[in-house]
Amino acid sequence: MNLADVVRDFPTEESCETFLATMRWPDGVECVACQSKKLTQTVRRGKISKKTGLRGPDQRLYECASCRKQFSVRNGTLFGDTHLPLKQWFMAIAVVCQAKKGISSNQMARTLGVTVKTGWYLCHRIREAMHEDNPEALQGMIQEMDETYVGGKYRGPEPNRFHAKNKEIVIGIKERGGDVRFFHAQDVKSGTLARYIRENISPEAGMICTDELTSYPGAVKQSGLNIEHRTVNHTQREYVVGDVTTNSIESAFSLFKRGLVGSYHRLSVKHLSRYLHEFQFKANNRRNPALFQDVLKGIAAKPRLPLRTLIDGPDAESQSPA
């Protein structure tokens, strides 16, 4: 579903609410407090603004017959955090889904005719919804793992670990021909890498391909997985040896980096994970025809995000100096 589809299919706020309700409660609307399905619908007239004298939009509410709770379809979800009309939310989701290399808050603001601040909040909430909680372990026989460096002040040729000062570390694991996982890591020590291997690769996997970084052999051993470790030696310009290559995880990284350069300009370290969630989700759903619907469901399923958490970013805690 692209932006034009959204404009055509959802002409009114009510049409958005109806669609969102079917996404949120596929088995029929239920009370957010007691899960009862005995509900009645009421309309609360919009309040008259003291500033403008204009009446705000009417609110369609459900009322629970068992516990008397009144709630709207946005209640208790990420949608409930703003007063923005659902139609603008839907348009924002369509825009994010379509933007292969990501979209900046400025661009979002211009596209929707909202302030840059609103554009920023929208983009970050949508990224939050794209976060896959506890995804399944990567199953494929061949896994590729690699590290890359982003952000920071270094300018010059392709950065690597020798230029890593001021840079953020991103770890990627990709099942050959399958899904990818990205992580904002604190370091590339064996113990850290071992944890990513253990938590993301199925014990059934047969081989893991990495570059020559010295922490990988120890990491694979410490992971406890019975998996063959093969390396390509990039410093000796070795990229493909039979089945052994890290080319697919590297292409995944390069799409992410093009997105960073093209859309985000200045990357805020404390939000790096959210950008990674977005790119991971898009990479893993590139052939999903119901991408728009799935993001919508994601937003409806995520609890509200306190403003402080949104602004501080998911990586803030781990980044603060000890």
**Least distance (Å) from Zn ion to the CB of residue 225?**
47
**Least distance (Å) from Zn ion to the CB of residue 75?**
12
| Cβ contact 101:262 at 8 Å | yes
Nearer to Zn ion, 37 or 55 (CB): 37
**Least distance (Å) from Zn ion to the CB of residue 30?**
8
CA distances from 91 to 8, 20, 96 (A): 11, 13, 9
In this structure, are strands 70-71 and 59-64 parallel, antiparallel, or unpaired? antiparallel
Torsion of CA 93, 95, 101, 104, to 10 degrees: -90
**Least distance (Å) from Zn ion to the CB of residue 59?**
18
| Cβ contact 209:145 at 8 Å | yes
**Least distance (Å) from Zn ion to the CB of residue 61?**
13
Interactions with Zn ion, residue window 167-196 (CB under 5 A): none
**Least distance (Å) from Zn ion to the CB of residue 67?**
3
Interactions with Zn ion, residue window 28-67 (CB under 5 A): 31, 33-34, 36, 64, 66-67
Nearer to Zn ion, 34 or 43 (CB): 34
Nearer to Zn ion, 39 or 108 (CB): 39
Number of residues that bind Zn ion (CB under 5 A): 8
Compute the Cα dihedral for 201, 203, 204, 208 and give only its sign.
Answer: positive
The residue to which tokens 């893993």 are assigned: 284
Calpha distance 32→35 (Å, rounded): 6
| Cβ contact 41:47 at 8 Å | no
**Least distance (Å) from Zn ion to the CB of residue 21?**
16
| Six-digit token string for 223 | 């992971």
- Regarding 219 and contact with Zn ion (CB under 5 A), the answer is no
Interactions with Zn ion, residue window 65-84 (CB under 5 A): 66-67, 69
The three-class DSSP label of residue 272 is helix
Closest CA to 178 of 102, 260, 252: 252
Nearer to Zn ion, 34 or 240 (CB): 34
Nearer to Zn ion, 30 or 238 (CB): 30
The three-class DSSP label of residue 174 is strand
Nearer to Zn ion, 32 or 130 (CB): 32
Nearer to Zn ion, 64 or 99 (CB): 64
The residue to which tokens 């990627």 are assigned: 172
**Least distance (Å) from Zn ion to the CB of residue 35?**
7
Residues 84-123, mask of contacts with Zn ion (x by CB under 5 A): ----------------------------------------
The residue to which tokens 């893991």 are assigned: 208
Amino acid at 29: V
φ, ψ of residue 80 to 5 degrees: the values are: -75, -10
Nearer to Zn ion, 38 or 258 (CB): 38
Contact residues toward Zn ion (CB under 5 A) are 31, 33-34, 36, 64, 66-67, 69
